[in-house]
Amino acid sequence: MVLYLAERILIEYKDREIKQKFAVYQNSITGEIKIVGDYRSIISKTSELHEEVWQEVIPFTYYYANYQEEPVAAYLIPKDLKDNSEVFIPDPIEDLIGSTWNQGDCYRATNVTGKVVSKKIILNPKSIERSDFIG
């Protein structure tokens, strides 16, 4: 992405060239999560991640660290919340459109509802009160 002002380059993002990698592992007994950024951490026979209790949740993936401080996000679901329970998400992780402006701007949705299904949050896009501004 390149930003221009009066035909001068202000900022040029090298987001396809500058990247970092990470993988996520979860302990199947304790639920503990580890985020790793070094291939050697999973290859080494002496690494605790080599033990059978550690399961790969997200394989090594590249991301541009300047867009976001952390490469992963998750909804925390209480253990006792039953399947099909309604939930209210004030700031969803997913990029859903909440409003647009005819001048080209587009903004993220907030205050979205959803349901818990098999320990996952399924958002209801119909709950978004979308606004489209003209002027």
Q: What is the pLDDT of residues 63-117, one digit of tens each?
A: 887 777 777 888 889 889 999 999 999 999 988 999 999 999 999 999 999 999 9
Residue 114: CB atoms within 10 A of its CB come to 19
pLDDT of residue 7: 57
Higher per-residue confidence, 93 vs 14:
93
In the predicted model, is pLDDT for residue 121 greater than 70?
A: yes
- Do 115 and 124 form a contact (C-beta atoms < 8 A)? yes
pLDDT of residue 9: 58
**Is the pTM here over 0.85, yes or no?**
no
pLDDT of residue 65: 78
In the predicted model, is pLDDT for residue 122 greater than 90?
A: yes
